[in-house]
Amino acid sequence: MLGTALHRGQLLSPAAQRACAFASALGASPVSSVLIARRSLASSVIVGMGGRNSKPQERNPSQRGDRANASTAVAAPTEPAQAYDALCERLKEISSLNGIAGLLDWDEMVMMPPGAAGSRASQKAALAGVLYDKETDPQLGALLEALKAAPGETLNEVQAAVVRDAAREYVKKTALPKELAQRVARLKSEAYAAWVKAKTESDFSVFAPFLQQWIDVSKEKAKLIDPTKPVYDVLLDDYEKGATSARLDEVFTQVREGLVPLIADIKSRGRKIDESWMAGEYDTDTQAELCRKVAIDIGFDTERGRLDVSVHPFTGGAHPTDVRMTTRFKKENVVEGLTGAIHETGHALYEQGRNLSYDGLPVNSALSMGVHESQSLLWERMVGLSQPFAEYLLPLLKERFPERFGSATPDQLYESENVIQEPSLIRVEADEVTYPLHIILRYELERGLLEGSVAVEDVPRIWNERMAAYLGAAPPNDAKGCLQDIHWSMGAFGYFPTYTLGAMYATQIYAAAEKDIPDLAHKIRGGDFKPLKSWLNSKIHSLGSLHNSGDELMAAVTGSPLDPAVFLTYLRDKYTHLYKL
């Protein structure tokens, strides 16, 4: 996929519900979320989810070939230092080409006139073909083989990580035979169209045959990439490096068991929080100016990035020195625009913070989608939706919207920003408490589908049963149930878990920051975000993908692997206080 990835919720999502949807090469979907994509190989740039005119795209299959085993016939420098230099040269070139692709994506979503859709599609396909040839070049494979065979101490830690990540991508790029790649490309378009129709008509049977095809094709693909691993784990690796379904089971079981009773408790005993005072109209130009100020206060560097408005908010661009971030605003909801802008700023800071000592190499890109999302959610939720931030924000709101905020208190703002939605039927509209259960339900279903324990035709029934069990609400129809998300129409199995992993990483990283940075809450209250941004730059951003997994990164930064108890304690404490349980 051409590096679109997305995060943050649909254009539609209320404040607390930034979901990230996937869109990848997929172009604009009606869902309109933004994606963050890990661009293949070196230049991982985040891109948004599809432009207004874009359509599902895949690299031109006619340009794909069966090159998987070709590398053995090609000579490569045998001296490791030489081989490493030759490898880096190739990876940097691929990174630059990916940067160009990122710029084309941004242009398509922000600036391009609608009439250019056709020519842009041709340009992107041509560039994708060039990239594919570079990424699957047998010479690249030969260099990787030579370096993998080099003695253990030959490469330092960073060099070893470069070889590891490049080799991993090379295997994936070269694993699929041309015929399968062509089937995947065709299915992408057909399944997407079927999903749109099924959702419009709220008729799962229209989409079901395509979902079955995606499952079959994905199993085939996973077996070609790594027949020794469970299918789900191979697919998951595209989004969350180093994660396994066994580990997800462990983590998600704990989260589910902690959240179901908390939500029931809030529903049965929680007080009612009045947020109606914030309803009204907010001038969108004033919102844009406010969001720009907040993004810059937090640390977005306008010397190395641009802020624009787009239909689908996203963060993308060409390079860590050229990060393109977009937001959008709704007249009737000032909080949604603000939290959206803060969310994207978190993604943008990660991109701007990439380590330029390793420019163009895979080790300087994001570790995973989950870790990327941890950076957006840390700023959005741990900072932006906190009480100290409300104290920073309220005077800015009073200044711009005195009629609505003139007599408000920081506590009132804080409480109203953190209302739990009820009923929670739609993922991208879900709040931070109910959101993880939406993800767990999808994870259980997609894994069951791939392992054979869930049949396609049973998806609507199981979906509705689990919604009732986990969230106490059953959807009125499939459009608002199992057809609501775009992901499965794109065959993106393994994407969903990264949203909740990101939320958990964010909580654990923030807890570590609070220990390291004296008076962090006080600093946030005063609008001094620099200590936190610098801390994240050095602890997370500059490390890139050096570590093998999110768990390893958590251990390095916080002292222990991902611990769901930290996330559960944060939610329980926050909402016990807010809802006076």
Q: Applying CB under 5 A, which part among 136-144, 375-383, 408-416, 523-531 lies near Zn ion? A: 375-383
Minimum distance from residue 327 beta carbon to Zn ion (Å)? 12
- List 108, 169, 344, 432, catalytic entry: 344
8 binding Zn ion? (CB under 5 A): yes
Helices 117-135 & 80-110 angle (0-180, nearest 10): 170
Q: How big is the CA angle at 455 (ends 449 and 461), to the nearest 5 degrees?
A: 105
Of 278 and 378, which CB lies nearer to Zn ion in the complex structure?
378
Using omega within 30 degrees of 0 as the cis cutoff, is the peptide bond preceding 423 cis? yes
Of 29 and 218, which CB lies nearer to Zn ion in the complex structure?
29
Number of residues that bind Zn ion (CB under 5 A): 5
Give CA separation, 4 vs 29, 174, 204, 333, in Å.
12, 20, 27, 27
**How is the chain split among helix, strand and coil, in percent rounded to 5?**
60, 5, 35
| d(C-alpha 49, C-alpha 71), whole Å | 34
Of 8 and 427, which CB lies nearer to Zn ion in the complex structure?
8
7 binding Zn ion? (CB under 5 A): yes
Q: Identify residues 12-51 at the interface with Zn ion (CB under 5 A).
A: 20
Of 373 and 417, which CB lies nearer to Zn ion in the complex structure?
373
| d(C-alpha 478, C-alpha 241), whole Å | 32
Q: Which of 188, 64, 224 is nearest to 134 (CA)?
A: 64
387 binding Zn ion? (CB under 5 A): no
Instruction: Compute CA 343 distance to the chain's CA centroid, rounded to the nearest angstrom.
Output: 11
Minimum distance from residue 451 beta carbon to Zn ion (Å)? 28
With tokens 């035979």, the residue in question is 177
Minimum distance from residue 69 beta carbon to Zn ion (Å)? 38
Of 7 and 90, which CB lies nearer to Zn ion in the complex structure?
7
376 binding Zn ion? (CB under 5 A): yes
Of 6 and 175, which CB lies nearer to Zn ion in the complex structure?
6
Q: Applying CB under 5 A, which part among 5-13, 334-342, 477-485, 528-536 lies near Zn ion? A: 5-13
Buried/exposed 198-229: b ≥16 CB within 10 Å, e otherwise: bbeeeebebbbebbebbbebbbbbbebbbeeb
Minimum distance from residue 347 beta carbon to Zn ion (Å)? 6
Burial class (CB in 10 A: 0-12, 13-18, 19+), 553: buried
Q: Applying CB under 5 A, which part among 268-276, 305-313, 376-384, 457-465 lies near Zn ion? A: 376-384
Q: Residue of minimal CB distance from Zn ion?
A: 7
Minimum distance from residue 578 beta carbon to Zn ion (Å)? 24
| d(C-alpha 333, C-alpha 342), whole Å | 15
| d(C-alpha 42, C-alpha 166), whole Å | 8
Minimum distance from residue 20 beta carbon to Zn ion (Å)? 4
Do 281 and 495 form a contact (C-beta atoms < 8 A)? no
Contacts with Zn ion, 315-354, as mask; x by CB under 5 A: ----------------------------------------
The three-class DSSP label of residue 316 is strand
Q: Applying CB under 5 A, which part among 24-32, 369-377, 486-494, 511-519 lies near Zn ion? A: 369-377
196 binding Zn ion? (CB under 5 A): no
Of 22 and 84, which CB lies nearer to Zn ion in the complex structure?
22
Question: Sign of dihedral through CA atoms 151, 152, 156, 158?
Answer: positive
- 240 classed as catalytic: no
Q: Applying CB under 5 A, which part among 50-58, 67-75, 182-190, 374-382 lies near Zn ion? A: 374-382
Of 10 and 412, which CB lies nearer to Zn ion in the complex structure?
10
164 binding Zn ion? (CB under 5 A): no
Give CA separation, 472 vs 161, 264, 269, 467, 533, in Å.
45, 8, 15, 6, 39
Minimum distance from residue 376 beta carbon to Zn ion (Å)? 4
Q: Which residues bind Zn ion (CB under 5 A)?
A: 7-8, 20, 373, 376
Active site residues: 344
